[in-house]
Structure 1
Amino acid sequence: MSEQVTSTGYGVLRDPHVNRGSAFTEPERRARRLEGLLPPGMSTLELQIARVHAELAALDNDLQKYLLLSDLRGRNETLFFAVVMADPATFMPLVYTPTVGEACQKFDHIFRGARGMYLPITARGRIKELLGNWPQRDVRFIVVTDGERILGLGDQGVGGMGIPLGKLALYTACAGVPPQCCLPITLDVGTNNHDLQEDPLYLGLRQERVRGADYLAFIDEFVAAVEALYPKCCIQWEDFANINAVPILERFRDRICTYNDDIQGTAAVALAGIFGALRLSGGKLTDQRFLFLGGGSAATGIAELISEAMALEGLPLDQARARSQLFDINGLMVTSRPDLADFQKPFAIDHAPLSNFADAVKALRPTAIIGVSTVPKLFNQQVIEAMAAINERPIIFPYSNPTSRSECTAEEAYRWSDGRAIFASGSPFPPVELAGRTFVPGQGNNVYIFPAMGMAVYATEATRVTEDMFIVAAKAVAEQVTDDNLATGLIYPPQSAIFEASLHVAERIATCIFDKGLARVPRPDDIAAHIRAAAYRPVYPG
């Protein structure tokens, strides 16, 4: 998409989409009436990147670095993405998890300026009007939250906006989705976080969360407004509480182009990790048994996608589902429990109640445990040692975010299993030295899935996002793990190569989209080349 000059003079320097700061050439400065508004020296994009690195190096706090990058994005979008994309492994933890968690918690105290859209439930009946205030007309992706279940941190109200902002930054940085096509949105339906309600700096509605029919009517109006204004748009639902996340996905998944990353993206990245782990253990997917710590939408989403992948390998779906069990705050999910939601019931088993997770490991003998509880340290020494006693290569996946909520650390998993664990976590952990070996922990981050899904949907103008697209994505991630990666225990592609990895995954997903007749554009002769041609690159136009 070519650059459009919308202003001259000082307005150019205040428009992050066209501003180049000190990189404007002398002819450009004359043409845009910038002479005298900038220091006379000119910098290349490479020098600007080096300057940002030096600024960041002078800071000793990740939140300060997050704010510096956020301010940079508000001034010069091209430079922001050039910095992040030049070293994604370093910058992803600053732009998104784990740093974004603290940014959401302190959102009202560090608020710099508006970005994205805030749609309050008090504006019901006018949502299309408000949404029409967004300056871009061709919006292809919306990441939307209502702020109720931000990472593992709970209700953050409008502070949850940090999540859509961060997610969409990674759509671009990790897979090349053009940033001008992306719109972060927070639906403000109130907050049940009384600390926020009583904070004089809180920027959201000071009321309890709206529930029930009024809430659903608000969601329906929002979706209708998006469809009317942005007919090619895909909506990604993010960090909604289970009571809303599952019904919303079921309500719209077969009607519009939409998905829930917490449910489906998490499931796909977990499945990718399982495929990678099986290359180390030598086992078959259909022979695995999974025990989940946590019984919410993330757990059931992973369990269901695993079941569907097993079904593709020939196992009947009911038998596949029986190979995944759930354990939550009230213990093992057994059929006799009266508190199970409908979406949990397919994974309830006929078994005596168990209230201790280590006891459940010993009784059910899983080959893998997957933590999506957001409760730290529940994969304790007793649990890890029990897994190691049952399995030669126990699969240990503490996926809860941020790092402070992880069910165990990489060092704990490797040490308590005598170095035999196959480990991946939701947040990053450093390499672990143990008995003369170096283990590189994998990060089962949804960043391997959702940016690539976004690029595939963008390049094909897909009308739907389907479950089998996530299985395709998981396999495409796993097939990029090399033997050298596996030798260090790494079961995901290195994040330093995330852009190339994402384009590979996007190509596989796009092929699936074309095969299923879900694309709005003609099938190209070379899908990989089509994906690459559509990808955004952070360079100044010549």
Structure 2
Amino acid sequence: MQVKKMIQHVRQYQVPLQKYMAMMDLQERNERLFYKLLIDHVEELLPVVYTPTVGEACQKYGSIFMRPQGLYISLKEKGKIREVLRNWPEKNIQVIVVTDGERILGLGDLGCQGMGIPVGKLSLYTALGGVRPSACLPITIDVGTNNEKLLNDELYIGLKQRRATGQEYAELMHEFMTAVKQTYGEKVLIQFEDFANHNAFDLLEKYRSTHLVFNDDIQGTASVVLAGLVAALKLVGGNLADHRFLFLGAGEAGTGIAELIALETSKQTNAPLEEVRKNIWLVDSKGLIVSSRKDSLQHFKKPWAHEHEPVKNLLDAINQIKPTVLIGTSGQGRTFTKEVIEAMAAINKRPIILSLSNPTSQSECTAEEAYKWSQGRAIFASGSPFPPVEYEGKVFVPGQANNAYIFPGFGLGLIMSGTIRVHDDLLLAASEALAAQVTQENFDKGLIFPPFTNIRKISAHIAANVAAKAYELGLATRLPQPKDLVKFAESCMYTPAYRTYR
């Protein structure tokens, strides 16, 4: 009855941000009911508690702030981070999602107001992956903000100073990483979220060999997109090695996806990584990434600088490279123009077009544009949700390449097997498990991802596959290995139910 009553209450609001506030209010007041509601109405409420609404919530976080959620660690607490962590009432933490708010979705530097992201992500860890809410800890590291508007806003909740960088920043992060391991042990999963490019790659590189770390923007996105591509091959035929990939955007998401595609292709064909990478091209703000630009490139772009004359824009790149797959990770809305999609449709019978930037306003193109401009031939998926599209009497259901498919199940797999490090093969295992969940019925609608209604079942399969790979690689510490990993995953999942009292 409470679920019925609450869903009606949430539906009466027309404005998504009001729905978000009603849901956050419920989470504070009655956690079990919040999760029960979210699980029972996952397709309707996911866009409310996460993208795209969470983006607007972060922009206005100061003005809608009622009571703090999560743990704030500021520059002023340098030298005392361990004490701050000890203040958190729960002692048995399994997952931490941490941000410094520098690159929130496609919205840029929102400083301390980025807290909406770790809070939102962790509610999905519980609802979709069954991790106990008390075992989740959202953290925002406040090192200031370079956002002038926030610095001048009296309702801004963070430090009113420019961002700390360089050594000061590195020392604070190192103290934080050390304190987390001392406080919560070797097996706590630390998920980096919405850090700026330079920091994201450095942090992942620096701590992947000493901590259980995962960057959702680099690795989670890559795993979801790879799953979508593996599923899409059933519609277009061929193997990954037979396709050519062109990216618009060469930041965390773009290079992360490219690297995982290369890893999987190399695994399938036994060809060296350098060889496989030649089928994958990236366009950044200065044009196609080619070898003549190598000296001026950031280190994470260098592997993608191939031999080719310079090409200034995306359309020319498509006409010269002739890709079968076009992937947008640019954070720039409306960059897949009519000419771009028509060029893809002219080269390919079924062009695969993924416009992955969030929130909806930053999407490279809409579902309707992709289907119309390709005469209904495109296989399309996006980062934010789009409604079904009718074109010439046929209804197309756009897939959503949402990280929420992967990270909750991935995290559950790590936790239930007691894994101590994240290996790239675990990401491939998660992708394979997700792609295997797409049914013929989904394909018939043009979907390359399964619907979210079964997400807990999907998460259990992903968790089982990830755990199996962790046992195989000797990274799992929970011994002996359970016989049926899917059943074990389901038995580990938190289910919101009221206890019965006599």
TM (normalized to structure 1)?
0.91
Distance 1:483 1:431 in 2: 18
Map residues 337-486 of structure 1 onto 2, 5 A cutoff.
Answer: 337=293, 338-486=295-443
1:533 deviates by 1.1
SS in 2 for 1:492: coil
Which residue of structure 1 aligns with residue 174 of structure 2?
A: 220
Q: Deviations over 1:117-166 (max 9, x none)?
A: 00001211011111110001110000000000000000001110000000
Match of 1:316 among 236, 257, 272: 272
Give the aligned residue type for 2:488: H
Aligned residue runs from structure 1 range 23-422, under 5 A: 47-231=1-185, 232-314=187-269, 315-337=271-293, 338-422=295-379
Are residues 1:540 and 2:494 paired?
A: no
SS of residue in 2 equivalent to 1:142: strand
1:528 aligns with 2:486: yes
- Aligned mates of 2:397, 2:439 — CA distance in 1: 13
- CA distance in structure 2 between the aligned counterparts of 1:382 and 1:304, rounded to whole angstroms: 28
Q: Distance in 2 between matches of 1:335 and 1:109?
A: 48
Question: What is the CA RMSD across the aligned residues, in angstroms?
Answer: 0.8
User: SS at 1:207's partner residue?
Assistant: coil
Matched positions, count: 496
- Local SS of the residue matching 1:438: strand
Distance in 1 of aligned mates of 2:134 and 2:90: 7
Q: CA deviation at 1:276?
A: 1.2
Structure 2: state its 5+ residue gaps.
Answer: none
Greater C-alpha Rg: 1
**1:494 and 2:456 aligned:** no
What amino acid is aligned across from residue 355 of structure 2 in structure 1?
A: P
| Aligned partner letter, 2:299 | D
Q: 2: distance between equivalents of 1:66 and 1:459?
A: 31
**Whole-Å Cα distance in 1 between the matches of residues 53 and 11 of structure 2?**
16
Residue 253 of structure 1: how far off its partner (Å): 0.8
Which segment is superposed worse, 345-354 or 192-201?
345-354
Report SS of the residue matched to 2:128.
helix
Q: Distance in 2 between matches of 1:112 and 1:458?
A: 32
- Alignment-derived partner of residue 13 in structure 1: none
Displacement, 1:339?
A: 2.6
- Aligned twin of 2:464: 507
Code of the aligned partner of 1:385:
E
C-alpha distance in 2, partners of 1:301/1:123? 33
Aligned to 1:25: none
Equivalent residue runs for 1:3-18 within 5 Å: none
Give SS of 1:465's match.
coil
Partner Cα distance (1:321, 1:218) in 2 = 36
Paired with 2:27 and 2:418, the residues of 1 have a C-alpha distance of 27
Q: Which amino acid aligns with 1:405?
A: Q
Q: CA deviation at 1:361?
A: 0.4
Q: Which runs of 4+ in 1 moved over 2 A?
A: none
Alpha-carbon shift at residue 255 of structure 1 (Å): 1.0
Secondary structure in 2 matching 1:343: helix
User: Which residue type is aligned with residue 253 of structure 2?
Assistant: A
- Structure 2 distance, partners of 1:74, 1:225, is 27
State how far apart, in whole Å, the 2-side matches of 1:490 and 1:171 are.
Answer: 24
Sequence identity percentage:
50
Q: Secondary structure, in 3 states, of the residue corresponding to 1:144?
A: strand
Please give the per-residue CA displacement for 1:43-96, whole angstroms capped at 9, x wherever unaligned. Answer: xxxx11111012112111110000000000001100000000012111110110
CA distance in 1, matches of 2:90, 2:414: 19
SS at match of 2:292: coil
Counterpart in 2 of 1:12? none
The structural deviation recorded for 1:410 is: 0.4
Aligned to 1:15: none
Unaligned stretches of 5+ in structure 1?
Answer: 1-46
3-state DSSP of counterpart to 1:370: strand
What amino acid is the match of 1:333?
I
Separation in structure 2 between the aligned mates of residue 378 and residue 222 of structure 1, nearest angstrom: 39
Q: Distance in 2 between matches of 1:89 and 1:499?
A: 12
- How far the C-alpha of 1:529 sits from its partner, in A, is 1.7
2:409 and 2:482 mapped to 1: Cα distance? 18
Secondary structure, counterpart of 2:291 in structure 1: coil
Q: Distance in 1 between matches of 2:483 and 2:426?
A: 20
Question: Hey, what's the Cα distance between the residues in 1 that align with 2:429 and 2:349?
Answer: 29
